[in-house]
């Protein structure tokens, strides 16, 4: 019981601190903007730990965070092998191929107004489809190793990036294009100096969606067959073998990878699209 | 779709139909090289002469040379039972066989009918959609009215979406079954709510904040209470944003349900059909289930799109 009271007490205190911080004079500062969500997150973890211990939940169902942390520290070698297989080989290679293909396709499509009109609605439709379902087909076509995982990632990220890039390329207004024409700029000069930079906020929107999709694709594809390593492989076998703490350690890795990929994209976006209104005053 | 609005139907449809025709054409062309090896194996077993002989010897030869050397057998690739890539006609046939034909025989709710499996998937999707939308709207209201909520929820909402839910999906199902929740629908609905709440949250925060300062000031001069301001200004102002994010949300909810069915040994639902098709080596079943999922996604988004236009038209806003 004492664990439950501790959890509740911690929650109330943390809540109070957050309210005090948000209303205090420093409420607009960077420190508070970081501190408040951190306190919120720590509270969730403490509640989880206290709840599991206080209610005597079996670690086979839901291990406490402290046990997950121990397993994480003890099995870094396995986690690293899985990380290399799923993230570095599957997800990132697929992302690189998918992004390159989508941007090149977008630039080609953009040259024809007819193609743009035809492909944009279809691309929008495809971007909304549950494309992860192609995972078993790709595993059948490309085998068990990382190639099939990269293929699933390519198919999943292609349409969101294509649609966003095509829209971005159309985002310059007539005045700006006219200006380039008065400079006597060629098609490629206009593309590289005006239209591609102007498309970047849209491209980064697509990239942020693609980062999450890439991890989902790489992990799901491993459920349909993989060599005896990889995050999806470890999760699906771990659930069967009741090594739930290792599964949670893999989930922690997935969360860290997902968050840092997103953070990396947001960081690059800030530097590339510094001129955009949404990035000012930050 | 969105950009067809206001343009005469034929003008908007022509480019789309052309692109669709091109996709189908490329698909048909791709079937020959994709299926040539399986096709040659099949005809060789029936006694036909194939160069080079033996499936192991053929593995070293490129598909293009195989096609050139065995021209009379290329057509066999278009009529395989278990093709690597089925033709659009085969997929359409399988889709019809498991939906329309079974419905005509009165067996629409049979376990082999895709109508039944679509309904299972649709049910979880809708539950997840309702749950996710409610969480999204409540979260958005909390964020707009409370600075603590804004500071603490928003970053975690973003982080929650960067965590690949598929990693969590098997865990959610294990925990749910241990807690005594027997129905497969509940964990699936949770997974789909997890993917669905975020677009709604972001859209509603934008929408509830969309009234301008002058409009808020006007209501203050009317001496409107906080609740009145919410009901008469903020909520109606957020409706266009709500519908846009609902369309994203329902598509995400469907993805969530299918992801929830894929890795978990579910036996009914479109994701389970894909899984079973993979285990039994029946690619046609996988493709038919994929297309059923695509049709379902299209229908759901269309329904919301029509509702959006009707509602916004009633409210006097331009859709």
Query: Is B205 inside any structural domain?
Result: yes
Same domain for A99 and A190, yes or no, is yes
Q: Among B148, B275, B301, whose Cβ lies nearest the Cβ of A19? A: B148
Distance CA B173, CA B259 (A): 12
Q: How confident is the model at residue B64 (pLDDT cuts 50, 70, 90)?
A: confident
Same domain for B274 and B127, yes or no, is yes
How far the first Cα of chain B sits from its last, in Å, is 13
| Residues of chain A with C-beta less than 8 angstroms from the C-beta of B3 | 117, 120-121
| Residues of chain A with C-beta less than 8 angstroms from the C-beta of B155 | 37
Same domain for B73 and B149, yes or no, is no
Whether the CB-CB separation of A1 and A54 falls below 8 Å is answered with yes
Query: Is A98 inside any structural domain?
Result: yes
CB spacing of A121 vs B1 below 8 angstroms: yes
* Domain of A26, in residue numbers: 2-57
Collapsing DSSP states into helix, strand and coil, what is residue B256? helix
| Residues of chain B with C-beta less than 8 angstroms from the C-beta of A95 | none
Query: Is A177 inside any structural domain?
Result: yes
Query: Is A155 inside any structural domain?
Result: yes
pLDDT value for B9: 57
pLDDT value for B263: 65
- Residue B131: pLDDT above 90? yes
Query: Is B8 inside any structural domain?
Result: yes
* Domain of B291, in residue numbers: 114-314
Query: Is A103 inside any structural domain?
Result: yes
Same domain for A151 and A92, yes or no, is yes
Query: Is A144 inside any structural domain?
Result: yes
| Residues of chain A with C-beta less than 8 angstroms from the C-beta of B259 | 130, 132, 216, 220
Question: What is the count of structural domains for chain A?
Answer: 2
Q: pTM of the full predicted structure?
A: 0.84
Is there a cis peptide before residue B52, judged by omega within 30 degrees of 0?
Answer: yes
DSSP A1: -
Same domain for A32 and A113, yes or no, is no
Q: How confident is the model at residue A280 (pLDDT cuts 50, 70, 90)?
A: low
ipTM of the complex: 0.80
* CATH for B271: 1.10.3720.10
Closest chain B residue to the Cα of A15, Cα to Cα: B148
Query: Is B62 inside any structural domain?
Result: yes
**Alpha-carbon gap: B274 to the closest alpha carbon of chain A (Å):** 7
Q: Which of A30, A118, A126, A239 would best serve as a mutation to test chain B binding (most B beta carbons within 10 A)?
A: A118
**Alpha-carbon gap: A179 to the closest alpha carbon of chain B (Å):** 28
CB spacing of A261 vs B16 below 8 angstroms: no
Same domain for A178 and A263, yes or no, is yes
- Hey, is the C-beta of B199 within 8 angstroms of any chain A C-beta? no
Question: What is the count of structural domains for chain B?
Answer: 2
Query: Is B237 inside any structural domain?
Result: yes
Last residue of a domain, one of B67, B85, B103: B85
CB spacing of A136 vs B290 below 8 angstroms: no
- Hey, is the C-beta of B20 within 8 angstroms of any chain A C-beta? yes
Question: Both tokens of residue B196?
Answer: 């669905």
* CATH for A84: 1.10.3720.10
Same domain for A31 and A141, yes or no, is no
Same domain for A92 and A53, yes or no, is no
**Alpha-carbon gap: A136 to the closest alpha carbon of chain B (Å):** 6
Q: Please write the tens of the pLDDT for every residue from A11-21.
A: 888 888 888 88
Query: Is B182 inside any structural domain?
Result: yes
Same domain for A89 and A188, yes or no, is yes
Same domain for B48 and B148, yes or no, is no
- Hey, is the C-beta of B9 within 8 angstroms of any chain A C-beta? no
Q: How confident is the model at residue B1 (pLDDT cuts 50, 70, 90)?
A: very low
To the nearest 10°, report the CA torsion of A177, A180, A182, A187. -90
Whether the CB-CB separation of A93 and A154 falls below 8 Å is answered with no
Query: Is A35 inside any structural domain?
Result: yes
Query: Is B155 inside any structural domain?
Result: yes
Same domain for A196 and A80, yes or no, is yes
Q: Please write the tens of the pLDDT for every residue from A192-249.
A: 888 888 888 889 888 888 888 888 888 888 888 888 888 888 888 887 777 888 888 8
Q: Residue B58 — φ and ψ, nearest 5°?
A: -70, -20
Same domain for A13 and A76, yes or no, is no
How far the first Cα of chain A sits from its last, in Å, is 45
Query: Is B105 inside any structural domain?
Result: no
Same domain for A132 and A226, yes or no, is yes
- Lowest mean pLDDT segment, chosen from A21-25, A165-169, B178-182: B178-182
Q: Which of B124, B125, B162, B299 would best serve as a mutation to test chain A binding (most A beta carbons within 10 A)?
A: B162
Query: Is B106 inside any structural domain?
Result: no
Place of tokens 């409210």: B315
Same domain for A169 and A234, yes or no, is yes
Instruction: Work out the mean pLDDT of chain B and round it to a whole number.
Output: 83
Q: Please write the tens of the pLDDT for every residue from B3-42.
A: 444 445 567 788 888 888 988 999 888 888 888 888 888 8
Query: Is A62 inside any structural domain?
Result: no
| Residues of chain B with C-beta less than 8 angstroms from the C-beta of A32 | 151
Q: Among A58, A62, A254, whose Cβ lies nearest the Cβ of B164? A: A254
- Hey, is the C-beta of B142 within 8 angstroms of any chain A C-beta? no
Closest chain A residue to the Cα of B254, Cα to Cα: A130
DSSP A244: H
């Amino acid at each position: 019981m004492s664990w439950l009271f501790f959890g509740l007490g911690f929650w109330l205190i943390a809540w109070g601190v957050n309210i005090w911080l948000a209303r205090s004079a420093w409420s607009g500062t960077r420190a508070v903007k970081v501190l408040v969500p951190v306190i919120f997150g720590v509270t969730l973890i403490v509640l989880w730990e206290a709840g599991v211990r206080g209610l005597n939940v079996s670690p086979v169902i839901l291990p406490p965070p402290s046990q997950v942390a121990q397993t994480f520290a003890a099995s870094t070698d396995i986690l690293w092998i899985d990380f290399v297989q799923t993230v570095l080989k599957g997800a990132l290679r697929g992302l690189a191929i998918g992004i390159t293909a989508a941007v090149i396709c977008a630039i080609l499509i953009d040259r024809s107004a007819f193609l743009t009109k035809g492909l944009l609605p279809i691309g929008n439709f495809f971007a909304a489809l549950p494309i992860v379902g192609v995972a078993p087909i790709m595993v059948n076509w490309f085998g068990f190793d990382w190639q099939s995982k990269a293929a699933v990632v390519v198919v999943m990220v292609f349409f969101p990036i294509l649609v966003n890039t095509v829209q971005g390329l159309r985002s310059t207004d007539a005045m700006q294009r006219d200006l380039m024409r008065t400079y006597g700029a060629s098609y490629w000069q206009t593309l590289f100096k005006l239209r591609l930079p102007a498309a970047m906020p849209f491209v980064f929107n697509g990239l942020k969606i693609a980062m999450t999709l890439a991890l989902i694709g790489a992990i799901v594809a491993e459920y349909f067959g993989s060599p005896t390593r990889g995050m999806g492989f470890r999760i699906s076998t771990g659930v069967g073998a009741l090594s739930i703490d290792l599964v949670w350690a893999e989930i922690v890795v997935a969360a860290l990878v997902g968050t840092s990929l997103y953070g990396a994209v947001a960081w690059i976006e800030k530097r590339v699209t510094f001129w955009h209104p949404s990035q000012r005053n930050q | 779709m969105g950009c067809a609005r206001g343009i005469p139907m034929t003008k908007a449809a022509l480019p789309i139909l052309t692109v669709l025709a091109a996709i189908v054409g490329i698909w048909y062309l791709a079937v020959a090289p994709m299926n040539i090896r399986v096709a040659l194996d099949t005809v060789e077993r029936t006694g036909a002469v194939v160069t080079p002989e033996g499936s192991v010897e053929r593995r070293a030869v490129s598909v293009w040379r195989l096609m050139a050397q065995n021209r009379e057998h290329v057509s066999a690739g278009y009529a395989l039972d278990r093709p690597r890539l089925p033709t659009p006609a085969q997929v359409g046939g399988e889709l019809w066989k498991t939906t329309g034909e079974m419905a005509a025989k009165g067996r629409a709710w049979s376990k082999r009918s895709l109508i039944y499996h679509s309904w299972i998937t649709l049910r979880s999707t809708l539950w997840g959609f309702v749950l996710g939308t409610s969480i999204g709207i409540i979260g958005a209201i909390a964020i707009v009215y409370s600075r603590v909520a804004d500071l603490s929820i928003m970053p975690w909402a973003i982080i929650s979406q960067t965590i690949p839910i598929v990693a969590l999906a098997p865990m959610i199902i294990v925990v749910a079954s241990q807690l005594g929740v027997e129905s497969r629908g509940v964990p699936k609905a949770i997974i789909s709510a997890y993917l669905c709440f975020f677009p709604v949250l972001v859209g509603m925060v934008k929408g509830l904040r969309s009234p301008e300062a002058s409009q808020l000031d006007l209501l203050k001069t009317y001496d409107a209470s906080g609740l009145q301001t919410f009901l008469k200004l903020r909520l109606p102002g957020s409706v266009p944003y709500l519908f846009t994010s609902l369309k994203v949300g329902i598509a995400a909810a469907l993805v969530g349900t299918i992801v929830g069915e894929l890795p978990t040994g579910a036996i009914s639902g479109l994701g389970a059909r894909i899984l079973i098709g993979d285990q039994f080596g029946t690619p046609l079943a996988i493709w038919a289930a994929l297309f059923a999922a695509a049709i379902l996604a299209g229908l759901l988004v269309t329904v919301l799109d029509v509702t959006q236009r009707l509602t916004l038209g009633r409210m006097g806003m331009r859709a």
